[in-house]
């Protein structure tokens, strides 16, 4: 669940800033971002966010902390709980009153993106300090095909890396071995400008932790609504 909460914060921030819009259910006025291609049947953890919101409001006596801030703090605390680094989360984000599936479809990065497309996608969010067909190890490909046939099914589950419940550098070690699961994964180590960074992270966890924490702070500051903008939602799933 920790990785899912981290992903919620990521996908929330990329669509019109860190404003909790991903948490909103559909209304007659708009379709939820949960139905966007990058989110449908893959983002999860909404019930956990609801539980956190209820506990925070109970402790504060009234709705004081925004759903957007809850996502930011939950992402940080999830990484820490999985053995990763911590960072200082700036608070004060306000919640949006609307959402846009169309915008989510247009801005969320795709699992099929190559390196130039990924870099351009992140640049559009102001995240420009990140250091063609996937090149995947044949044995690993055969292993995954056996576990995950084209017909799919809920029983055909496999982790993205060997340590799904631990925040570590196994992801980068797999990339060096040509065992990236998605095109957008292996694109980071495929003869391009990020190869050296992948090698560094695969052998130096402290370097990855340091850069990851700095990147999370930067992502959490993407176009936040503050002051009198937006609102503090009573229910994260709908506007007040």
Distance CA 23, CA 5 (A): 12
Note whether 83 and 36 are within 8 A (CB): no
Q: What is the pLDDT of residue 240?
A: 96
CA distance 10 to 123: 15
pLDDT tens digit sequence for 88-124: 999 999 999 999 999 999 999 988 888 888 889 888 8
Q: Does the pLDDT of residue 142 top 90, yes or no?
A: no
User: pLDDT band at 154, cuts 50/70/90?
Assistant: low
Supply the residues annotated as catalytic.
11
φ, ψ of residue 30 to 5 degrees: the values are -155, 155
The model's pTM is: 0.82
| Architecture category of domain 2-109 in CATH | Orthogonal Bundle (1.10)
Long-range contacts of 59-65 (CB under 8 A, 24+ apart): 63/232, 63/233, 63/234, 64/232, 65/91, 65/232
Residue 166: its pLDDT value, please? 87
Annotated binding site for Ca(2+): 12, 15, 17, 19, 21, 33, 161, 168
pLDDT over 70 percentage in the chain: 85
Residues annotated within a binding site for substrate = 109
The chain-wide mean pLDDT, for the chain, equals 87
**Residue 118 C-beta-side C-alpha neighbours within 13 Å:** 21
User: 156 near 222, Cβ under 8 Å?
Assistant: no
For the segment 119-141, what is each residue's pLDDT rounded down to a tens digit? 898 888 988 643 333 455 566 56
Higher-scoring residue by pLDDT: 188, 236: 236
């Amino acid at each position: 669940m920790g990785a899912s909460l981290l992903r919620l914060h990521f996908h929330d921030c990329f669509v019109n800033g860190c404003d909790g819009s991903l948490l909103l259910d559909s209304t007659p006025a708009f379709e939820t971002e949960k139905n966007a291609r990058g989110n449908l049947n893959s983002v999860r953890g909404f019930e956990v966010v609801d539980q956190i919101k209820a506990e925070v409001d109970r402790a504060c006596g009234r709705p004081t902390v925004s759903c957007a801030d809850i996502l930011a703090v939950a992402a940080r605390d999830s990484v820490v709980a999985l053995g990763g680094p911590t960072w200082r989360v700036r608070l004060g984000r306000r919640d949006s009153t609307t959402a846009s599936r169309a915008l989510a479809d247009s801005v969320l990065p795709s699992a099929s993106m190559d390196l130039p497309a990924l870099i351009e996608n992140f640049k559009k969010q102001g995240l420009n300090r990140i250091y063609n067909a996937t090149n995947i190890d044949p044995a690993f490909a055969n292993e995954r095909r056996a576990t995950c046939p084209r017909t799919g099914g809920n029983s055909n589950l496999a982790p993205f890396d060997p340590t799904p419940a631990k925040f570590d550098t196994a992801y980068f070690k797999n990339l060096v071995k040509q065992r990236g699961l998605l095109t957008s994964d292996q694109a980071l180590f495929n003869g391009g400008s990020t190869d050296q960074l992948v090698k560094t992270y695969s052998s130096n966890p402290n370097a990855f932790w340091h850069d990851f924490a700095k990147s999370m702070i930067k992502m959490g500051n993407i176009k936040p609504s503050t002051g009198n903008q937006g609102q503090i939602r009573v229910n994260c799933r709908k506007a007040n």
